[in-house]
């Protein structure tokens, strides 16, 4: 009886010690691809930025409605053209790759995005989260989450100031 209990205990111990595949990674080719894309964004190399995406990639920016990489690049160009400087705080970024229970490969990125508006010299800092799905080394889906309230308010203030100047100029010319 003791041998049976001992044998059963060893079998249970072996089953419980079975190695499960690693699901979380601090280093991977996908993480390096995402970091390369972030660097391309920060330097304004839009062709290289787009090269990280599949042709059918869907990008969700605080929305349930996706845009293409081409449309997202246009939007980012417009935003960054108003900035004297912009980029992520790499000293306090966090990135990890996860193989989820469906076998999908996702890279998660958290960092603070800072930018200084050229027109007002106002600096904003906004926490950002990216959830990026990879298939065969390319981004097929990206979810971008941030609170854009302060950024949108600054763009509105700049537009209002430009409108006021235009109105003043029109009145002065008449």
Q: What is the pLDDT of residue 163?
A: 76
Q: What is the pLDDT of residue 72?
A: 98
Q: What is the pLDDT of residue 78?
A: 93
- In 3D space, the residue among 156, 153, 77, 85 whose CA is nearest the CA of residue 118 turns out to be 85
Q: What is the pLDDT of residue 53?
A: 98
Q: What is the pLDDT of residue 87?
A: 97
Task: Identify whether the C-beta of residue 100 lies closer than 8 Å to the C-beta of residue 135.
Answer: no
Q: What is the pLDDT of residue 160?
A: 80
Q: What is the pLDDT of residue 174?
A: 57
Helix (H), strand (E) at residue 153 = helix 149-173
- For the question of whether the overall pTM of this predicted structure is more than 0.85, the answer is no
Residue segments in the chain with a per-residue pLDDT below the cut of 50: none
């Amino acid at each position: 009886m003791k041998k049976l209990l001992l044998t059963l205990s060893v079998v249970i111990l072996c089953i419980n010690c079975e190695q499960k595949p690693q699901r979380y990674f601090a280093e991977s080719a996908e993480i390096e691809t995402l970091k390369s894309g972030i660097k391309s964004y920060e330097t304004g190399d839009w062709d290289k930025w787009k090269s990280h995406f599949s042709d059918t990639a869907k990008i969700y920016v605080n929305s349930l409605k996706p845009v293409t990489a081409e449309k997202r690049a246009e939007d980012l160009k417009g935003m960054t053209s108003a900035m004297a400087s912009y980029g992520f705080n790499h000293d306090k970024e966090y990135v990890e790759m996860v193989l989820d229970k469906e076998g999908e490969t996702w890279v998660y990125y958290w960092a603070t995005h800072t930018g200084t508006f050229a027109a007002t010299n106002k600096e904003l800092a906004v926490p950002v989260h990216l959830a990026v799905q990879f298939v065969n080394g390319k981004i097929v889906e990206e979810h971008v989450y941030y609170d854009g309230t302060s950024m949108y308010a600054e763009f509105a203030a700049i537009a209002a100031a430009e409108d006021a100047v235009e109105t003043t100029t029109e009145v002065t010319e008449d």
